[in-house]
Structure 1
Amino acid sequence: MSGKRFDPAEFDQARRAFILKTGVGLGWLTLAELMGTPAFAQQNPIPADGHAGLPGFPNHPPRAKRIIYLHMLGAFSQNDTFDYKPTLEKMHGEELPSSVMAGRRLSTMVKGQTSYPIVGPVAKFKRYGKTGTMVSDAMQHVGGIIDEVCLIKTMNTEHVNHDPASKFLHTGFQIAGRPSTGAWVTYALGSTNKDLPRFVVMSSGNPGGVPIDASTWAAGFMPSHYQGVQFRSGQAPVPYIESPDGHSRKDRRELLDAIGKIATLQGKVANDPEIPSRISQYEMAYRMQESIPEIADISDEPDHVLDLYGPDVRKPGTFARNCLLARRLAERDVRYTMAVHMGWDHHGGIAARLPQTCKEIDQPTAGLITDLKQRGLLDDTLVVFSTEFGRTSFAQGTLKTNFGRDHHGGNFCVFMAGGGAKAGLTYGETDDFGYNIVKDGVHIHDLNATILHMLGIDHLKLTYRSQGRDFRLTDVHGSVVKGVFA
């Protein structure tokens, strides 16, 4: 034990010396934050050209140049569409064995149920295509092109609530704040069309209890110009695209040039990545004044093409119209297009509601894939059809009345078409009850790693540094599922 006694006066002097010596540094950190200067600069390569990708990307020859992502928001039921289980028909109304349910997380909406009766499919199944794949009549048009599709039956996720599950699907994390898949892809690969956004989002359907969430197309901690641009339903996808009355495009050009010069000077002082992002967005808005009306005007589409997508294609804001616009965007080399369709949260009335919701998306989905193939675009366009999780094999509610199906993350279906996906393949197997995976499970991180790989991106090499650590879309997980490649 030391013989020196504690001296409060000496300690106070040491404390004051520490504050004096470090106060300037701490004050600089605070001032830097207030002035918009990152105190610890993020060492992320941001291309000077707002449309360029990163040096060294793609990492390997891509199978696809662009992606069209069709998201069924609300949980698309696999047992009523693509994962046929005769056992569910034979045992309809009987209790799902506890051995099948063992260890599986249930949502709070069914934990209070004392009975879990098996529900057979609410639509009839039959074989389609040369592959003889079983598809329900609710998705008969997709059944008609099933030989073009790579069907994955064993998708799985830890999440059983819509909001975190949707974020997890599109950002790799269940809490808002991370970049979406579209942001990662466009950050890495850039855009080849300077007149249109690199990342476009469209929505349709009835939100019900699951409204659309902008965090699924956000840029997160990346510069904001990597976020998706949302097209509105209706004749004018982007609001206020026209110049105000009395102002010509020449006036607008001169104004933007002046703003750009001032902002560039401010950017050099503040070292804020959002300043060049804002300039880039102003410039894009200017170019979109001509490109967006041309995209939205479908009067040049012949009837035989419109008929591929079904009667709803003539109605702005429908999923059918959005699928047609997705094809028009793909023709113009927009890198990432996402079409979200709401209305799949079938906790009740599934026997009537699911076939109706399928009718809204079935023919447009098949029409999009057919149209892309006829134009020679399917080879280098990856179409992904997904949902955030699946639905249970047992009934939610009383079986013989207004029953539905509850959330189920243990397995659900996703399919891909084009872009190097193996056409006609069914990947993975589930048990006889459609409740558990028995072969070749594919986690969300695996799906995202695979999508990036098909676009020429190694998910292990695509990183972005924020708050002192490197982030990836797949975090520290994910394996490329090479078995789905052609």
Structure 2
Amino acid sequence: MSGVFSRRTFLQQSAAGIPFLGLAHLLSQEAAATESPLAVRAPHFPAKAKRVIFLFMSGGPSHVDLFDYKPALEKMQGQPLPFEKPKLERTRTGNLLASPWKFSRHGESGIEISELLPHLSKCADDLCVVRSMVADNINHNGACLQMNTGEQAFSRPSLGSWLQYGLGSENQNLPGFVVISPAQPAQGAPLWSNSFLSAAYQGTLVQDLKHPIVNLGNDRYSTGEQRAELDLLKSLNQLHVSQRPDDSRLDSRIQSFELAFRMQTEAPAAFGIEQESTATKSLYGIDDPVTEIFGRQCLMARRLVESGVRMVQVYHTTTSKRSSCQLWDQHSGLQTELPNNCLATDKPVAALLTDLKARGLLEDTLVIWGGEFGRTPTAEGNNGREHHPFGFTMWMAGGGIKSGCTYGSTDEFGWHAAQDKVHVHDLHATVLHLMGLDHTRLTYRYAGRDYRLTDVHGRVVQEILA
């Protein structure tokens, strides 16, 4: 008999139940199996939401042009801001700039929304519009990091990673945290990083919307042969892991192999938006070149949360008009580019809310919309607005949030958050609370201290809870 035992021979014999000499010895030495990092864990208290969809408008949407109507800007158009601007400033903006677009009240709640968002306006009674958001960083990189991870400068675990760490994944055959972004934001992977948490909690990036998971199938080996191969590989890897208990990377690699194997059966259906009806695709605007890209993203997000994915982050980073990593960054071209962004996203976002509601998913799915900050009420040049973290707007819907309401306010010009200020840390604390997690108890010891998403800050905004 030849001394060479081929890989295929091993796979064939293992699949047929024929033992491989030496495997029993390896198995006897491997460390005891540990719980999967994605195993479902009980929340700290009963949750109102089971899953999160975060619609991230990369670049900073202008609150005073979309959700925060300011008559004072119209009255004082072209005049100087009547108080001193904060010292934190990137460029010297000019005089006050009124919104070129009309605002109207919508729904029984009467929430004021810009004419740029006609589809979302029909969902006004599902929204909780927070008009008093504040952040600490005036630049994209730091502000995006803070909105996604709670930290402005250093690599820290993202919101989705913390949720997986605290709760695990509802579906062991799919990733628990998926990021849908056709073009990567300038900040890239740190926005969905696991940082010092287990590598299993990092977000799974989807860029190709028509082929979201590459190399999913295996034409070379049968399912039984793949299973045998993975069992041997796992045994060898666990021997290595047992000697390095403080390093999560190899254990997470083992888990990723196992997840990839299981995904072969379930992922095609979960990601497969082509299986949707013509009416549903039309609802999301997939039949229109202007809304097709973001429509596909939103529909994919709905399918994923419906399949048990814990968090889906949907980045608006590209349209049919242009490709940019900071689409909502209107330093100039406000009157053309802001309408383009709204055209590309308004219908798909409204469709997502409508579809979730129709399927009974909105009540336990928390939907969040917003960017890293807003835009100045003063003009940059004659047709633009600067970065503005001092007071801006985000909205939430479903998942235990009050519906048909507004919370907080900026001053009469839309500059400072003046009433019921909500910091990014407060937003994160509230999201964790809705998911059944106490933000002060969800900690991880690293480098000699206990870390948490909200650091040493944050309060749950009880006033907006249903």
Letter in 1 for 2:75: K
Q: Which residue of structure 1 aligns with residue 269 of structure 2?
A: 294
1:22-421 matched pairs, under 5 angstroms: 48-54=35-41, 57-97=42-82, 99=83, 101-107=84-90, 110-111=91-92, 116-204=94-182, 211-243=186-218, 245-271=219-245, 272-311=247-286, 318-342=293-317, 343-397=327-381, 399=382, 403-421=383-401
Aligned partners of 1:260, 1:349: CA distance in 2, in Å?
55
CA contact (8 A) 2:182 2:207 kept: no
Secondary structure of 1:134 counterpart: strand
Aligned partners of 1:291, 1:475: CA distance in 2, in Å?
37
Superposed CA offset, 1:386-426 (max 9, x none)? 210110001111x2xxx210001101111110000000110
Superposed CA offset, 1:353-387 (max 9, x none)? 00111111111111101100000001111001121
1:314 shift after superposition: 8.2
Q: Which residue of structure 1 aligns with residue 27 of structure 2?
A: none
1:301 shift after superposition: 1.5
1:157 shift after superposition: 0.7
Q: Give TM-score scaled by structure 1 length.
A: 0.84
1:323 shift after superposition: 0.5
1:292 shift after superposition: 2.3
Aligned partners of 1:143, 1:316: CA distance in 2, in Å?
17
Letter in 1 for 2:311: Y
Letter in 1 for 2:444: Y
1:312 shift after superposition: 5.2
CA contact (8 A) 1:315 1:321 kept: no
Secondary structure of 1:256 counterpart: helix
Aligned partners of 2:237, 2:144: CA distance in 1, in Å?
36
Provide closer, same or farther for how the CA distance between residues 47 and 436 of structure 1 changes in structure 2, counting only shifts above 3 A.
farther
Secondary structure of 1:478 counterpart: coil
Letter in 2 for 1:66: R
Q: Mean Cα displacement is larger for which, 357-366 or 454-463? A: 357-366
Identity of aligned residues (%): 42
CA contact (8 A) 1:310 1:363 kept: yes
Aligned partners of 2:259, 2:154: CA distance in 1, in Å?
26
1:93 shift after superposition: 1.7
Q: Give TM-score scaled by structure 2 length.
A: 0.87
Aligned partners of 2:288, 2:46: CA distance in 1, in Å?
35
Secondary structure of 1:372 counterpart: helix
Secondary structure of 1:393 counterpart: coil
Secondary structure of 1:340 counterpart: strand
Aligned partners of 2:417, 2:265: CA distance in 1, in Å?
50
CA contact (8 A) 2:132 2:393 kept: yes
Q: Please say which structure displays the higher CA radius of gyration.
A: 1
CA contact (8 A) 1:232 1:317 kept: no
Q: Give the unaligned 5+ runs of structure 2.
A: 1-32, 318-326
Aligned pair partner of 2:405 in 425, 428, 438: 425
Secondary structure of 1:395 counterpart: coil
Aligned partners of 1:344, 1:74: CA distance in 2, in Å?
4
CA contact (8 A) 2:291 2:343 kept: no
Q: Which residue of structure 2 aligns with residue 474 of structure 1?
A: 454
Provide closer, same or farther for how the CA distance between residues 51 and 293 of structure 1 changes in structure 2, counting only shifts above 3 A.
same
1:47 shift after superposition: 6.5
1:318 shift after superposition: 1.3
CA contact (8 A) 1:314 1:321 kept: no
Aligned partners of 2:438, 2:308: CA distance in 1, in Å?
21
Secondary structure of 2:113 counterpart: strand
Secondary structure of 1:345 counterpart: coil
1:94 shift after superposition: 1.8
Secondary structure of 2:379 counterpart: strand
Aligned partners of 2:372, 2:252: CA distance in 1, in Å?
31
Aligned partners of 2:235, 2:70: CA distance in 1, in Å?
64
Superposed CA offset, 1:119-160 (max 9, x none)? 111322111111111111111111110110011000001100
Aligned partners of 2:286, 2:192: CA distance in 1, in Å?
29
Secondary structure of 2:378 counterpart: strand
1:52 shift after superposition: 1.7
CA contact (8 A) 1:165 1:388 kept: yes
1:180 shift after superposition: 0.3
1:104 shift after superposition: 4.9
Q: Which residue of structure 1 aligns with residue 432 of structure 2?
A: 452
CA contact (8 A) 1:196 1:292 kept: yes
